[in-house]
């Protein structure tokens, strides 16, 4: 739900010997590999700005429901902390730039 809970989960995994990971699967998509190669070779020039969206249809109808829209179930970051992490990883992977707090 938040960084405090994340730290607790990391500590718990370390104490118990459980291996935990996030599969940033978009890295292996051919288009993402191609974009990374283009950036690395300089084909696009210097990258100053990246804009993206996460397009979905799982809330298309008024009767649709998803836990990601409820802060009490998905935390304050909601969908950004869940599916948004994949967008952030893809940007970092393609550009070769790493951001941290």
The domain spans of the chain are: 3-95
Cα–Cα dist 65/69, whole Å:
8
Using pLDDT thresholds of 50, 70 and 90, give the confidence band for residue 101: low
Give me Rg for the CA atoms of the chain: 17
Using pLDDT thresholds of 50, 70 and 90, give the confidence band for residue 100: low
Tokens of 34: 């191609």
Cα–Cα dist 68/56, whole Å:
13
Question: In this structure, what are the phi and psi dihedrals at residue 81, rounded to the nearest 5 degrees?
Answer: -75, -20
- The C-alpha angle 32, 37, 41, rounded to 5 degrees, equals 150
Residue 11 pLDDT > 80: yes
Distance of CA 85 to the CA centre of its chain: 2
Supply the pTM of this predicted model.
Answer: 0.73
The model's pLDDT over 50-96, given as tens digits with 9 standing for 90+, comes to 988 877 787 888 898 888 778 888 777 777 777 888 999 999 999 99
More confident residue, 75 or 100: 75
């Amino acid at each position: 739900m938040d960084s405090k809970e994340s730290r607790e989960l990391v500590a718990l995994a370390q104490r118990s010997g459980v291996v935990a990971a996030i599969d940033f699967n978009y890295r292996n998509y051919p288009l993402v590999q191609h974009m990374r190669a283009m950036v690395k070779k300089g084909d696009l020039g210097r990258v100053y700005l990246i804009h993206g969206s996460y397009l979905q249809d799982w809330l298309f109808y008024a009767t649709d429901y998803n836990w990601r829209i409820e802060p009490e179930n998905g935390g304050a970051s909601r969908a950004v902390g869940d599916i948004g992490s994949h967008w952030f990883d893809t940007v970092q992977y393609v550009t070769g730039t790493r951001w941290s707090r």
